[in-house]
Structure 1
Amino acid sequence: MPTEPPPSPWEFPAPVAWDPDSDLVGLGADLAPGTLLSAYRRGLFPMPTGGRRDPMGWFSPVERGVLPLDGVRVTRSLRRSTRDLEIRVDTACDEVIRACGDPRRAAGWIDDRVHAAYVELHRLGWVHSVEAWRGDRLVGGLYGVAIGGLFAGESMFHRERDASKVALLGLVDLMRDDHAGARLLDTQWQTPHLASLGVVEVPRETYLARLRDALALPLPEAFAGG
């Protein structure tokens, strides 16, 4: 089971104080494990707003991207790809985060601070990677924060066509259990790519209500660590 870190010394603003028209809720704080967990439990996630000297941004999108576990769209070619690749969990989390933060990727935001913070959360049992393997080669994957019934997806990558999508389908399968109807797979924003897979937008208030219910659930077996 995950290890609860010391509580954060930072206090995030309550939703009533959030700008109803802005995804950005606040600036500052740190990326210590307790701060990150406090943020996710409140419906927030961090992203850098500039260079290392600039404050960290904390976001709660006005329209939140969510993937319904019963609404995933699987094309015929993607279904074929699932037969060719093996899904593994937490066998190469550091490599997955590093690949997601490859500076050659367009619009990359995972810097050394973010990488180190999520590797530490993985060590404590809160961050998990879902990986697509072809033999002994990691060809795609994703990582995110799992708290109860919430999986807050952070980023994904691929080295072969469809490999990141196969990892996402693997994550959905891991979350489909007796609590699947109340589990919450958060993608932060809906992009055209994610929309093609079934990601929908829900209002911030709806997301926060669903989050409260999801946090009360047990972890999926794959993330519970026995």
Structure 2
Amino acid sequence: MMLNIAMLLKAYREGFFPMSDPEDGELYWCRPHMRAVFPLDRFSPSRDVRRLERKGVFRLTVNHDFPGVIHGCAAPRKGDPDTWISEPIIAAYQQLHELGLAHSIECWHDGELAGGLYGMSMAGAFFGESMFSWRSYASQVALSFLVHRLRLKGFRLLDAQIMNPHLRRLGAVEISHEEYMEQLAVALAKKTVFL
């Protein structure tokens, strides 16, 4: 299956997102029964993240190195050589980025990319795709920066897709598919932009 922009936008509006099988690279659509989201009104970064923010340890940018971030997210992780971010997914999100729909938050340390995240915005919804850290806490600082930006812009939904222990520690909660679709409808009716 090839991904095209119209197909991706329709899928997100209907609660689907793409993944690729780590073993054979085959693309498939996901729409889990339980969805991970970050409640924007209740998100609170950890004490360590707040300390790093106060000290200005990292420099944060938006859309300065989308290719670096998506490739950082796709890179094998310690103890887990597999990735669901295949070349077709990278190509599709690069197109979305060029259209102003996919965005990256970069976290820099001493002029080097230390971590970040990427996702797609649509009206008042931000669909977080993946995050990575090459330096401790870099992705968490990027997430805190993203949440602050989404609040300022009036976003209603930060979708984290599938729950895992790391997302739960960061403050994500699970909601039913039905509740997710209700929140998505409200977010898609909101007139706002990411940039």
Q: What TM-score, normalized by structure 2, do the two folds share?
A: 0.91
SS at match of 1:72: coil
Q: Which residue of 2 aligns with 1:128?
A: 103
Amino acid at match of 2:95: E
CA distance in 1, matches of 2:45, 2:67: 28
CA distance in 2, matches of 1:37, 1:140: 27
The 1:209/1:132 distance shift into structure 2, 3 A limit, reads same
Gaps of 5+ in 2: none
Amino acid at match of 2:101: W
Q: Which residue of 2 aligns with 1:40?
A: 12
Query: Could you tell me whether the CA contact under 8 Å between 1:73 and 1:196 is conserved in 2?
Result: no
Amino acid at match of 1:32: N
Pairwise CA distance, 1:103: 3.6
- Greater percentage in helix: 2
Query: Could you tell me whether the CA contact under 8 Å between 2:154 and 2:192 is conserved in 1?
Result: no
Q: Which residue of 1 aligns with 2:51?
A: 80
Pairwise CA distance, 1:178: 6.3
Q: Which residue of 1 aligns with 2:145?
A: 170
Query: Could you tell me whether the CA contact under 8 Å between 2:153 and 2:192 is conserved in 1?
Result: no
The 1:178/1:96 distance shift into structure 2, 3 A limit, reads closer
The 1:170/1:178 distance shift into structure 2, 3 A limit, reads closer
CA distance in 1, matches of 2:10, 2:176: 21
Pairwise CA distance, 1:85: 1.1
Pairwise CA distance, 1:216: 1.4
Amino acid at match of 2:166: H
Query: Could you tell me whether the CA contact under 8 Å between 1:184 and 1:211 is conserved in 2?
Result: yes
The 1:178/1:90 distance shift into structure 2, 3 A limit, reads closer
CA distance in 2, matches of 1:151, 1:42: 14
Q: Which residue of 2 aligns with 1:14?
A: none
Amino acid at match of 1:67: F
Pairwise CA distance, 1:219: 3.0
Amino acid at match of 1:40: Y
The structure with more radius of gyration: 1
1:193 to 166, 171, 185: 166
Gaps of 5+ in 1: 1-28
Q: Which residue of 2 aligns with 1:68?
A: 39
Counting matched residue pairs gives 190
Pairwise CA distance, 1:194: 0.9
* Superimposed CA distance per residue, residues 95-130 of structure 1 (whole angstroms, 9 cap, x where no aligned partner): 100111114562311111111111111011110001
